[in-house]
Structure 1
Amino acid sequence: MTKRIFLSTITVVVSVLLLSLALITGVLYEHFQKIQMDQLEVTEEFVEQGITLDGMDYLKNLNENDCRITWIAADGTVLYDNRFDASQMENHKNREEVKQAMEGSAGTSFRQSTTVSERTMYYAKRMQDHTVLRLSVSQSSVLFLLGGMLSPICFILLAACILSGVLSYRVSKKIVHPLSELDLKHPEQVETYDELSPFLQRIAAQNREIEHRVRELKKQQQEFSMITENMSEGLFVVDRNYQILSYNKSAVQIFGIENEPIGQNLLAVNRSQAFREAVDSAFQGRHTQKNLTLNGRVYQIIANSVCSPDSEQELVGAVLLVLDITEKEEQERYRREFTANVSHELKTPLTSISGIAEIIRNGIVRPEDIPHFAGKIYDESQRLITLIGDIIKLSQLDEDQVPLERESVDLLEISRDVVQQLSSVAKKNGVSLVAGGTHGSVYGVRQVLSEMVYNLCENAVKYNQKGGRVSVDVKQSDAAITLTVKDTGIGIPKAEQSRVFERFYRVDKSHSKAVGGTGLGLSIVKHGAALHHAAIELNSEVGEGTEIKLIFPVKR
């Protein structure tokens, strides 16, 4: 404050000095200019009388060095000039001061030199014979005059500035001293300027209010800390600049934070797209829920914006709550898988039973063929019963009530059974379907393995072309048993290959609608492979076909 008062005072003093110098210089310059003009008028009167009495002889004998004298005829021709040869000078009829004199009685003008810091003052007067007598004198410019006085002016300014600086410093120190001695903790006990009394009283009242609010805030903070630290959910409170203001122990554990996060940018905690979208949405004033997979667990991020109490449109920060929903997601995933698998497993036998029943109802079957079709219905019904039994077993397995029954299953045998089941469908679509290779036994669940091979072959047939081919090949090596289903169908684009094993995902929806299916086949294959610890390899080219391999490890 002392520095500010000092600078303000010295600035005012210097400004006043400079302004005064400028005003005085301007007034004096105008005063001397008027004196010079008056002298020109007086001189002109004397010269005019001399010319009236003696004519050119007077001018030739005149010894005038201070001013320039020019005698101009009525047509502008220069008759005489005491500085230059009149015969060589141009016509002066259009000179400003000459024109004024010819039109009136007298004229004046000023012209600035472009080469030196001077300007010329002209005074012209029309004589009785209509000639014009003009006198002129050179006048130094203000800057030139100031330049000549530069040394004394600088000395005076320097002395004035030093004196002003000393006085300003002492005055500012004296003004600020009572203020610097203020005790803002106990403003009622301070003796200072009377003008500051209302200010000090207000500070005292504010101090009391602040102390009260600090106690309340400490109490609320302790309560908040007790609640948040005992939460299993992670919690972050951030300001509008994404800086972390508060957090709890669960948040540190979930995100594996090692250093003190207070003051850090929240986006540095986790750089995933879902986390960033949740935070950005909160700062856009939207309630947002996003799922985030972290360290093998699934978390739900709930982000809400925090608005100013004065204005609901002004965002001051955000609150993020992180919930562990791994078990919930697992249960939901199991429910979807169970529903999908049940639907797909029941579809095939029910379709077969429905088709045979329709044929019999329409009277197409000859009497002697009825036992054969009745046997088919019986077989498919038994398959349904077996399937339902397996579903019950899977349901019991989910509840850990029965162990999963595994057995040694020959993949080549299963492949041939599947080829036999799909032979009519393949023939209808104009596709040849064959199975071959070597016998290879996998220790697993027969029904699941059969369903996996069936789905692969069914897709290969459905998404094939007329005259196409589907081959199922089983090979066994020391390390693994590989089942390969290869077709010459429409193929799968590269961009879609990573998603074909998702539930209900279809590459060509229009074609899928024509051939039927729910889009669960390859998803079942994927989960069946996971059940048997098998790997899946997919190779496909659009228009050339698809090859899918199931690689089962051999237990030793």
Structure 2
Amino acid sequence: MNKKIFRSSLLTVCLVLAATIALIMGLLFHFFEKQIQKELANEAGFLAHALENEGAGYFDSFDNKNNRLAGNNRITWIDENGTVLFDSRADVSELDNHADRDEIKTAMKEGKGMSTRYSKTLTEKTVNYAIRLSDGSILRVSTEQYTVVTILMGMLQPILFIMFVALILTLVLSARVSKAIIEPINKLDLEIPENNDTYEELTPLLRKIADQKETIGEQLADSRKKQKEFNLITENMSEGFLVIDADANLLTYNSAALNLLEITPPADRSVLLLCRAKEFRGVISDVLSGIKAENTMVREERSYSLIANPVYEKESVIGAVVVILDITEHEKRDMLRREFTANVSHELKTPLTSISGFAELMKAGDVLENDVTDFSKSIYDEAQRLITLVNDIIKISELDGQSIPYEKETVDLYELSKEVIGRLEKEADKKNITFHLIGGRAEIIGVHKILEEMLYNLCDNAIKYNKENGTVDVLVNQTGDGVNVIVRDTGIGIPISHQDRVFERFYRVDKSHSKKVGGTGLGLAIVKHGALYHHAKLSLESTVDVGTVVTIAFSKK
């Protein structure tokens, strides 16, 4: 705006300056022209009076006596027929008839006449004034006058100098004027438009700006509120959330999407750079073609469900919404459920097959009287194994569903460990294994039955998978955060490749050895779920042929 005002001011001043110079030159030229005509009329009158008194003899000694009077003017005497009788500059014999000259014709008719004639180059003009004498002859006085063009050419240098100076002044003044005009506008406080003291003409504009500012402020506040609500919702979603346009450019996303895909905020806007998995690209391609797309993607041992819906505007796809769900745990649960079902079926089938076989033989009467007792013992043992298995399955189901039919109470883990060790002493004596209980009184709030099962299974495993003449240490000690229970044996140990899976249901490191020592394969799974129920941390360290250490860290909270 400052430049525009400056240019406008400069152009205006230049135009005014040029017009002023032209007008002044025109007025001066017109003024001097009138003066010359007046002087010619006066001189013609004077000469006419002298000629009337002295006659033709007046011109005899004109060059000598009256040259001062003639000056630079040309004097011509013409008779009534147009013949030149006298000319102060030319030989009359060489001059043609002047009867057709405008000033002559006018003077013959009206007594005086005036005309102006320009040279061929238009640089000079001749002003003629004629007066009729009493005898009918005509006296004409002529003078040469420069034209405006000639005068301007003659004064070109001073005019250009004046215009240059005027231009410099105009530049300076225009700059100052434009700055002075713009400065109050630049100092406008648009935060409070109505409080500005400026040009009166700007008052309606400032009032309108104030109204618009208020409206925009309300709209922005509403927009920020909605954006905050949207961010609050999306940022607290566990599901990943992506919004893309028709060109697959990322418009918005939430932190969960970045965390699930384990990526940093993209520098490029293309969503295809977030993940190069075939399934992800396929979903994006399908949804942008207008198809609701769903697929499962596996990425770094984690499973994700991708659900994408297209967004339409006037029947054309303008973008899409993509939701990313981490279904790893769900997939693991499904796998564990399938494994659990298969394992349960297998574990139940084995004792039931044995029971059914012995019972069938006894029913057919093909069993000797002496073998009935052995068959009955086998049926009883298998039935007890089946009951133990069903009880362990029920315990796992209760822990899974958090449907524990017992109330929490204060339990001293040291005393509970002493009771469990007492129950297992006979089993330990069979392998000459020695128990050591270390620690002191350590109370927590928990379910006595579950805690007892956990300690029993850990100590039972420490006996089953121990060596002859081995030891089992049970350490119960209080820490600043709670209570630790550590069961340490000198057994066969667990290979590193199996340590992550030993707490899974029915998982056995060595099935042949497990079959030999018995058990349902659910002991450590019960320990794991019991720890989860009590919000305890479970850890395992083991070295083959050295032993195993299992630690349960109970928190006071």
TM (norm. structure 1) is 0.39
